[in-house]
């Protein structure tokens, strides 16, 4: 019955018989229409006498038919084993290589076909293996070429690792026996085929051999190994080498190399002589080393890699000892591998294999050292390639080899190779700095170790490029390490080790003093900015004691480095609460090692902060001190009179508390610490009073007690012991102590200066401070936040604050020195200290005044006016800074300042007559100016009257002004850099303040007509003042600073005239042309470079326009030029910048003044036409709007020049300006003082006075001025409506 399935394509039916009459079942049709009789084919192939031509033709026809699916399907289905014997017999019957090749191909095709056909049936393949192995085992073919064909066929059949193939080999012993015998032939081709067969069969053997099976190769091991290695050494064929290496690799994996060393017997007696000949040769490891040299130098990279893998597997065996490794090294195998690496072109596969072998050889350090030194230059380029690949397999191995070389052979590291290595390693760290790719912990630690080893090489000394790479690597390593939450202990320890050695590397012995490498600063910066914050934040979660110890040790190494860096780092440690953090370490790891390390770094910190060996008490008591801060405080509460060890421990505890308190690092509760300190004072008072304790202990005790008492007062009240306080005050009264010369917390210092009972002691300390403190002379002020030393800034801030006796102590001290007639040097030192204190903290001057500094100054002037010039000058400087800084309300109403003024006047006039205008005289002029300035606030009125009415002084000033005016154009060369110019500026300043003072203290005394007169018949002035025409001359001919002060004086004069005429009209008389000459001078300065001068001239000119005596027509041309220039500039968008608008304020004032006139010039209407006003408004913005410009628009509104569109646009601009000001985004753009400030005291005084003059006129900020002008504009607009 037929199955209903799709039938294969119909083939022509086979013939019933062949020509020989064989039955049809043995005849298979082909797709070409022919057929093949299997029996005829078998007979032809099996007959050794068959013509080779016929055999070859038949094989080719069969090969062609096997490509047809139907034919091979029929053959393997119905006659699978029919052709196996004849095909095998072809290999043994015919010595013909083409026929053998055809046959092997057919056998492979049938074997592969059987594996893929019939659900994986491999019987054909197995039978081929069985028949071919039987032929080889029988040895019937001897070692003819037919045997080689059979070997090749067997190798092809075995190229499929399958268990059934292994079981198909019947006589395995005989097969191995014959193969080993064949290896002794000198034919490369046969040896290659045998090696391949041995390789494939050994793989099958060891893969599928059961546990109870016999290792067939073990019995032949010594001989087989020696023969194989001998073949490998002698052959020049890469194919033979590859097969040989593959077979040896299998043997190495099975440990037969080691077995060969102990097994010297063979089962085959007829080969005993041969075996002995082989074994009598060189030792196996020597032969092995010699054998691999040839393959290592092969041009075939596959052979090289296989050979390297063979050596690696051999050296990796546990049985291989240092003797075998040493043999490989002594036979120069390492040199061959270095050469392979040099020529490898950094190919990944060969690099991996070579480096793995070198890593194993490097385990024998002593022997390998010399070879490694030779090949070191080859490894550096390889490292550059390996470092570019993340997680490269041999990265760690290569780094280990390089570290071995750099450590053991530092001489081979040249400057260039060291730089290249450091650059590569630094690049590795940088690549993984973000933690995205990561870096193996072992790679990280090895890289750090290599950096350290390079730094220790002689060739690395004085290499800035290397230092730069180390700096980059240090920063990257720390970032990599700290960014990884799962870092290993070794990583952080190696990183710290790198930082420590980098700090040591940047020494003067390695780098010249002149070089600025900066590596040490980098390390300190890393410790301060990275390690320290990390350590403080993670200390309580730290699990590894070694990490904490490593961090502390690294910190300690920096503390013992450079003095400056050590001090800065110690301050950073303390500022980061290192004391409490390190006590936290002791709590986590209460071991003796941690305790020793913590107290050692405490002592080093104190050495650095307080001076050499200050921390010795801590070092002496390290192992007697407890780990808990509370237990430390318990030690303070003990009596130590008869216990030296306890006394040393108490000194150590006080030092730790003192150092931590300086940086507000509280290691225990304030209440507990204060209680312990009081208990210490009460129990050990006798020792303290009798002087048994060192003075430093007393000072530390005082500073500590003051700190905790002051802290309690600032935050919350703590109970304290009055008895302990009494004992402490008694101790301080009887002993010499000096807290100002030690480091002290501001809280402690403040508490001391709040104790009235300590004023006498503190006065003595301040005197000592003033005597010895070089900062007074050098004008250098340190920052207490970092130094914790008492300096002038600290004292200044203390005195400027309230609730302390600082100012009183200084005033009383200075008064006592004057009263007791002490050495002038002491008085000068204290006076200079007071002067500097006021310069630092101007508010301190009010406190000095409240405690009577003026009386002390008066006594000093009485004491030193002529006898001690230096004391007089110092006192004058103090008086000037007091007047400069103190508020008028703080000035006393007694006669002290009057007496001071009289003394100064008595000194000034004779000195000018005899010595000219000296610095002392100019300083006095500054003092007089400031006294006059205070008189405008109703202070120092009597002293001011003495000044302004002093006739000799008036005469002296007038003479000096007259001489300056007579210089004419030459006066321009006399600026503040010349004595004449400086004197003239001081006199003009005195005149300015005198004119302001006269209007306040002596109203009505000024005769303005006299000041406006000119000519030789002028009557002399009886008070300090200056005539108008003299001011005009000085403004016209003088230098820029002279013009500035003279213009302010003229403004003050015109303001006084305006104020006097507003209450009582005065008809001034002028000669013809007098006012025109004044206006000409003022007009000429409208566009002066210093806008302050130009503004003052515009104000004066505006005032002058209101005088009826002046004919405006005479100014018409110049005024029109000014206004037209103003309108043109304001209408141009490109030039209406903020600075440009400032310089057009004077012209805006002139325009406003013209609009205010009863009858404005007719040309004003043409200048301020509609288009010009629109353009000006369009260019206005919140940043360039000025008070003068708003006032100008107000006058334009009043005079009817603005229409509704203009007003609408202006309102939008003004509204935006209001928002801008209220948002506090606008800055006061008032003109800054352009006067140069000299470094000397007189120059500073002149600069201050020059800056004070415009401040008087600028009574309020620019914001308020603009807002007020906008409000005035709005009011005018409402009135118009």
863 neighbors 819 (Cβ within 8 angstroms): no
Enter the DSSP assignment of 28.
E
Tell me the three state secondary structure of residue 35. Answer: strand
656 pLDDT higher than 50 = yes
Distance CA(1128)–CA(1176), nearest Å, equals: 9
| Average pLDDT score over residue span 103-114 | 83
705 has pLDDT over 50: yes
Q: Which residue has the tokens 């057919």?
A: 106
CA distance 1119 to 1113: 10
Coil, strand or helix at 1238: coil
What average pLDDT does the segment 1122-1144 reach? Answer: 72
Tokens of 942: 């009597």
| Distance, CA of 251 to CA of 230 (rounded, Å) | 15
pLDDT in tens, 43-61: 888 888 889 899 899 889 8
Please choose, from the candidates 51, 174, 73, the residue with its C-alpha nearest in 3D space to the C-alpha of residue 118: 73
Q: Are 88 and 48 in contact (CB under 8 A)?
A: no
Considering the chain, what is the average pLDDT of its residues?
82
Task: Give dist(CA 1009, CA 1002) in Å, integer.
Answer: 17
Q: How would residue 1269 be classed by pLDDT, with cut points 50, 70 and 90?
A: confident
- The CB-side HSE value for 1251 (13 A sphere, CA atoms) comes to 14
pTM: 0.73
**Residues 575-598: pLDDT tens digits?**
889 999 999 999 899 999 999 999
Residue 544 has pLDDT above 80, yes or no: yes
The β-bridge partners of 36 are 28
DSSP 514: T
Q: What's the pLDDT at 772?
A: 84
Length of the chain: 1281
Query: For the chain, how are helix, strand and coil distributed in percent, rounded to 5?
Result: 70, 0, 30
Q: Which of 34-48, 78-92, 170-184, 269-283 has the lowest mean pLDDT?
A: 269-283
Query: What residues does 893 pair with on adjacent strands?
Result: none
- List of residues 6+ apart from 913 with CB closer than 8 A: none
Stretch (H or E) spanning 36: strand 35-37
**Using alpha carbons only, what angle is made at residue 358 by residues 356 and 364, rounded to the nearest 5 degrees?**
120
d(CA 93, CA 88): 9
Measured between alpha carbons, how far is 402 from 384 in angstroms, rounded to an integer?
12
Which tokens belong to 1125? 């220039």
Q: What is the pLDDT of residues 590-638, one digit of tens each?
A: 999 999 999 999 999 999 988 878 899 999 999 899 999 999 999 888 8
User: Which phi-psi region, left, alpha or beta, contains residue 1224 (left: φ > 0; alpha: ψ -120 to 50)?
Assistant: left
Separation of alpha carbons 479 and 433, rounded Å: 6
DSSP string covering 739-768: GGGSB--HHHHHHHHT-GGGHHHHHHHHHH
Residue 976: Cβ within 10 Å count: 21
How high is the pLDDT of residue 270?
40
How far is Cα 429 from Cα 443, in angstroms, rounded to an integer?
10
How does residue 1066 score in pLDDT terms, banded at 50, 70 and 90?
Answer: low
644 by Cβ neighbours in 10 Å (0-12 / 13-18 / 19+) ranks as: exposed
Q: Is the pLDDT of residue 148 over 60?
A: yes
**Interval 517-541: pLDDT, tens:** 678 889 999 999 999 999 998 888 8
CB 498, CB 491: distance < 8 Å: no
Contact at 8 Å (CB) between 420 and 380? yes
Tokens of 936: 């405008």
What does the alpha-carbon distance between residue 1244 and residue 1256 come to, in Å, rounded to a whole number?
19
Whether the predicted pLDDT of 8 surpasses 80: no
Neighbours of 956 (CB within 10 A): 19
pLDDT of 277 strictly over 90: no
Dist. CA 427–CA 472, nearest whole Å: 9
345 CB-near residues (< 8 Å, 6+ apart)? none
Write out 407-429 in H/E/C secondary structure: HHCHHHCCHHHHHHHHHHHHHHH
Alpha carbon 521 to chain centroid distance? 11
DSSP-based three-state secondary structure for 297: coil
Tens of pLDDT, residues 364-409:
888 888 888 888 888 989 898 888 888 888 889 999 999 988 988 8
Most confident listed range (120-129, 149-158, 159-168): 149-158
Residue 37, beta-bridge partner list = 27
- Give me 412's structure tokens: 């081979």
Nearest to 14 by CA among 81, 75, 55, 57: 75
Residue 596 is encoded by which pair of tokens?
Answer: 């020793």
Q: What is the largest CA-CA distance in the chain?
A: 170
Mean pLDDT of 955-976: 85
What mean pLDDT is predicted for residues 725-729?
Answer: 89
Q: How far apart are CA 524 and CA 475, in angstroms?
A: 11
DSSP at 317: S
User: Which residues are within 8 A (CB) of 383 and not within 5 positions of it... i.e. 6 or more apart?
Assistant: 398, 399, 402, 421, 424
1140 pLDDT above the threshold of 60: no
**Confidence tier at 658 by pLDDT (50, 70, 90):** very high
Copy the structure tokens of residue 485: 């939450």
> Is the Cβ–Cβ distance between 400 and 446 less than 8 Å?
yes
Output the DSSP codes for 67-122: TSHHHHHHHHHH-TTTTHHHHHHHHHH---HHHHHHHHHHHHHHHHHHHHSTTT--
- Output the pLDDT for position 993: 92
Distance, CA of 444 to CA of 399 (rounded, Å): 10
Contacts 24+ apart (CB under 8 A), 862-871: 862/899, 862/903, 863/818, 863/821, 864/824, 865/903, 865/906, 865/907, 866/907, 868/824, 869/920, 870/824, 870/828, 871/824, 871/827, 871/828, 871/831
Instruction: Report percent pLDDT > 70 for the chain.
Output: 87
Contact 860/869 with Cβ under 8 angstroms?
no
User: Of 319, 295, 323, 316, nearest to 307 (Cα)?
Assistant: 295
Give the dihedral sign, CA 162/166/169/170: negative
Name 28's bridge partners.
36
Task: Kindly report, residue by residue over 328-373, the tens digit of the pLDDT.
Answer: 888 888 899 999 988 887 788 899 999 999 999 888 888 888 888 8
Tell me what pLDDT residue 517 has.
65
User: Looking at the predicted structure, is the pLDDT value of residue 1226 above 50?
Assistant: no
Other beta carbons within 10 angstroms of residue 8's beta carbon come to 9
| Mean pLDDT in residue range 660-673 | 90
- Asked if 153 and 107 touch (Cβ cutoff 8 Å), the reply is yes
């Amino acid at each position: 019955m037929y199955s209903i399935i799709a039938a294969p394509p119909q083939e022509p039916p086979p013939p019933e018989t062949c020509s020989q009459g064989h039955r049809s079942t043995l005849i298979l049709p082909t797709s070409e229409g022919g057929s093949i009789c299997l029996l005829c084919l078998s007979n032809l192939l099996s007959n050794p006498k068959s013509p080779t031509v016929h055999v070859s033709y038949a094989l080719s026809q069969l090969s062609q038919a096997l490509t047809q699916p139907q034919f091979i399907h029929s053959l393997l289905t119905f006659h699978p084993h029919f052709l196996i014997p004849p095909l095998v017999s072809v290999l043994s019957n015919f010595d013909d290589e083409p026929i053998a090749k055809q046959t092997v191909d057919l056998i492979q095709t049938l074997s592969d076909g059987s594996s893929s056909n019939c659900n994986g049936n491999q019987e054909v393949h197995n039978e081929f293996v069985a028949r071919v192995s039987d032929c080889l085992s029988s040895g019937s073919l001897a070692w003819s070429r037919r045997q080689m064909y059979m070997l090749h066929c067997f190798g092809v059949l075995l190229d499929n690792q399958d268990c059934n193939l292994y079981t198909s080999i019947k006589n395995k012993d005989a097969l191995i026996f014959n193969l080993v015998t064949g290896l002794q032939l000198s034919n490369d081709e046969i040896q290659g085929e045998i090696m391949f067969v041995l390789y494939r069969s050994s793989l099958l053997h060891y893969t599928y051999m059961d546990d109870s099976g016999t290792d067939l190769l073990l019995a032949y091991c010594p001989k087989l190994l020696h023969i194989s290695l001998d073949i490998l050494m002698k052959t020049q064929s890469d194919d033979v080498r590859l097969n040989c290496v593959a077979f040896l690799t299998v043997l190495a994996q099975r440990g037969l190399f080691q077995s060969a060393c102990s097994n010297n017997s063979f089962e085959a007696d007829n080969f005993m002589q041969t075996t002995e000949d082989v074994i009598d040769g060189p030792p196996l490891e020597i032969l092995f080393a010699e054998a691999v040299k040839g393959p290592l130098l092969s041009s075939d990279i596959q052979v090289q890699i296989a050979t390297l893998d063979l050596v690696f597997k051999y050296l990796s065996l546990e049985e291989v000892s240092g003797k075998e490794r040493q043999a490989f090294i002594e036979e120069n195998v390492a040199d061959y591998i270095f050469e392979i690496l040099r020529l490898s072109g950094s190919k990944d596969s060969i690099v991996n294999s070579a480096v793995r072998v070198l890593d194993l050889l490097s385990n024998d350090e002593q022997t390998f050292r010399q070879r490694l030194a030779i090949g070191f230059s080859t490894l550096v380029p390889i490292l550059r390639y390996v470092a570019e690949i993340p997680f490269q397999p041999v990265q760690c191995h290569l780094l280990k080899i390089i570290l071995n070389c750099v450590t053991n052979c530092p001489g081979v590291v040249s400057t260039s190779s060291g730089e290249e290595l450091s650059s590569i390693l630094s690049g590795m760290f940088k690549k993984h700095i973000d933690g995205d790719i990561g870096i193996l912990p072992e790679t990280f630690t090895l890289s750090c170790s290599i950096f350290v080893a390079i730094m220790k090489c002689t060739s690395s000394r004085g290499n800035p490029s290397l230092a730069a790479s180390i700096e980059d690597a240090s920063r990257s390593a720390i970032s990599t390490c700290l960014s990884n939450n799962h870092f290993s202990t070794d990583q952080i320890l190696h990183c710290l080790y790198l930082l420590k050695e980098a700090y040591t590397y940047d020494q003067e012995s390695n780098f010249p003093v002149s070089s600025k490498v900066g590596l040490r600063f980098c390390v300190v910066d890393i410790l301060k900015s990275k390690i320290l914050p990390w350590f403080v934040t993670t200390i309580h979660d730290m699990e590894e004691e070694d990490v904490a110890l490593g961090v502390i040790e690294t910190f300690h190494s920096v503390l013992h480095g450079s003095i400056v860096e050590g001090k800065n780092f110690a301050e950073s440690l303390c500022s980061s609460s290192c004391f409490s953090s390190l006590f936290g370490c002791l709590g986590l790891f209460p071991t003796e090692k941690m305790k020793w390390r913590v107290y050692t770094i405490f002592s080093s910190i104190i050495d650095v902060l307080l001076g050499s060996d200050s921390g010795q008490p801590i070092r002496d008591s390290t192992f007697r001190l407890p780990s808990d801060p509370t237990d430390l405080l318990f030690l303070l509460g003990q009596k130590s009179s008869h216990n030296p060890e306890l006394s040393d421990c108490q000194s150590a505890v006080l030092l730790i508390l003192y150092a931590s308190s300086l940086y507000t690092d509280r290691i225990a509760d304030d209440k507990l610490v204060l209680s312990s300190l009081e208990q210490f004072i009460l129990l050990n008072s006798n020792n303290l009073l009798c002087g048994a304790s060192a003075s430093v202990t007393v000072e530390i005790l005082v500073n500590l007690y003051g700190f905790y008492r002051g802290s309690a007062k600032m935050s919350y009240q703590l109970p304290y012991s009055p008895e302990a306080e009494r004992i402490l005050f008694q101790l301080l009264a009887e002993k010499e102590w000096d807290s100002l010369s030690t480091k002290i917390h501001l809280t402690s210092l403040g508490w001391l200066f709040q104790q009235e009972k300590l004023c006498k002691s503190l006065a003595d300390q301040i005197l000592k401070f003033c005597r010895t403190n070089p900062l007074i002379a050098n004008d250098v002020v340190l920052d207490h936040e970092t130094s914790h030393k008492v300096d002038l800034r600290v004292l200044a801030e203390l005195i400027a604050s309230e609730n302390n006796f600082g100012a009183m102590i200084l005033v009383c001290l200075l008064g006592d020195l004057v009263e007791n007639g002490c050495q002038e040097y002491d008085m000068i030192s204290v006076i200079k200290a007071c002067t500097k204190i006021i310069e630092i903290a101007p508010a301190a001057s009010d406190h000095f005044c409240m405690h009577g500094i003026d009386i002390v100054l008066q006594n000093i002037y009485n004491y030193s006016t002529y006898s001690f010039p230096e004391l007089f000058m110092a006192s004058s400087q103090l008086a000037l800074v007091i007047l400069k800084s103190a508020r008028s309300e703080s000035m006393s109403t007694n006669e002290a300042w009057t007496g001071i003024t009289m003394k100064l006047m008595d000194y000034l006039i004779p000195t000018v007559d005899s010595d000219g205008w000296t610095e002392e005289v100019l300083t006095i002029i500054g003092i007089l100016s400031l006294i006059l300035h205070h008189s405008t606030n109703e202070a120092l009125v009597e002293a001011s009257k003495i000044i302004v009415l002093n006739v000799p002084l008036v005469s002296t000033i007038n003479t000096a002004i007259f001489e300056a005016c007579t210089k004419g154009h030459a006066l321009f060369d006399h600026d503040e850099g010349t004595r004449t110019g400086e004197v003239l500026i001081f006199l003009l300043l005195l005149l300015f303040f005198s004119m302001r003072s006269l209007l306040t203290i002596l109203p009505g005394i000024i005769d303005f007509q006299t000041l406006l007169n000119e000519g030789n018949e002028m009557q002399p002035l009886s008070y300090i003042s200056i005539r108008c025409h003299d001011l005009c001359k000085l403004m016209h001919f003088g230098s820029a600073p002279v013009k500035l002060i003279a213009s302010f004086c003229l403004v003050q004069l015109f303001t006084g005239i305006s104020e006097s005429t507003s209450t009582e009209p005065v008809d001034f008389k002028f000669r013809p042309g007098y006012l025109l000459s004044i206006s000409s001078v003022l007009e000429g300065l409208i566009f002066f470079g210093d806008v302050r001068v130009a503004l003052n001239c515009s104000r004066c000119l505006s005032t002058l326009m209101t005088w009826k005596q002046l004919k405006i027509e005479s100014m018409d041309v110049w005024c029109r030029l000014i206004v037209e220039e103003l309108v043109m500039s304001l209408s141009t968008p490109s030039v209406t910048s903020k600075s440009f608008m400032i310089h057009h304020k004077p012209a805006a004032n002139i325009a406003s003044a013209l609009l205010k006139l009863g009858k404005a010039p007719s040309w004003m209407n043409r200048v301020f036409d509609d288009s010009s006003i629109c353009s000006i408004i369009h260019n206005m913005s919140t940043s360039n709007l000025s008070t003068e410009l708003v006032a100008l628009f107000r006058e334009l509104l009043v005079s009817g020049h603005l229409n509704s569109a203009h007003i609408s646009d202006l309102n939008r601009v003004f509204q935006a300006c209001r928002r801008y000001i209220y948002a506090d985004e606008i800055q006061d753009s008032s003109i800054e003082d352009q006067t140069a400030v000299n470094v000397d005291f007189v120059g500073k005084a002149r600069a201050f006075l020059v800056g004070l003059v415009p401040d008087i006129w600028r009574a309020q900020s620019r914001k308020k001025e603009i807002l007020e002008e906008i409000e005035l504009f709005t009011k005018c607009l409402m009135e118009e409506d």
